[in-house]
Amino acid sequence: MAQTSTTTAELLEVPLEARPKHIAIIMDGNGRWAQRQGLPRIEGHRRGVASVRRTTEECARLDIEQLTLYCLSSENWKRPQRELEFLMHLLEQYMIEERSTIMEQNIRVNVIGRRDAIPDAVRREMQKTIDLSAANTGLRLCLAINYGSRLELVDAVREIAEQVQGGQLEPSAIDEETVRKHLYTAGMSDPDLVIRTAGEMRVSNFLLWQISYSEIWVTDHCWPEFRESDLHQAIRDFAARDRRYGGLTG
């Protein structure tokens, strides 16, 4: 997809009601970007944190209601141990160093995914940030960590089955809302817009239930290269699309 530069003034011509309320991003290409620069893969992850900061702050400034970032998939544990340890270090560092900014910008942090594989020290700092920001009313920042949508659906089905077995729920009463309430994202809106970086044309086990009617926007830029102008262009393109949800218009 061709990229064009969009100034903030131009972006603000998109009225608030035409902007996506919930943006989800598959942050891809950190390692590839680093290799192209002749740098170790972990440097790509470090630079990727700067893109997280920029994108989060811009979404907060633009009154986006929720930003969900695919930080670590359940499949990523197959990566080299040194890289995984560095990713956990970056996550812990982010949770500590960004707290003041999170509070200043009224951002509320949530985490989805299976936390059992995350080191205790990282989980503690994560929970501190979640608890500290719980009363904030601005942008909801949802981090998908050790997340896989198929695992999420398995966990939801297991919980529903336990309710049926316990006599709390009739099988005939199970509907879409029942499933929705048992997903990790219960209480959150579905994404309006999914952004994927690094030019990949797949959803990679990310929010499979939730993105059924999401608009998808792909950029060739790797995540460390992702700038506010890319976010602006994605929002402008989103606003120009005709969302029919299976129906007809015109």
Among residues 28, 30, 110, 230, the one annotated as catalytic is: 28
Residue 148 DSSP class: -
Answer whether 35's CB lies under 8 Å from 222's CB. Answer: no
Question: Packing angle between helix 81-97 and helix 120-133, nearest 10 degrees?
Answer: 30
Q: How many residues does the chain have?
A: 250
SS3 assignment, position 204:
coil
Neighbours of 168 (CB within 10 A): 9
Asked about 110 being catalytic, the answer comes back as no
What would the DSSP string read from start to end of 95-124? HHHTHHHHHHTT-EEEEES--TTS-HHHHH
Catalytic residue list contains 146: no
Q: Which among 63, 76, 136, 146 is annotated as catalytic?
A: 76
Give catalytic residue positions: 28, 76
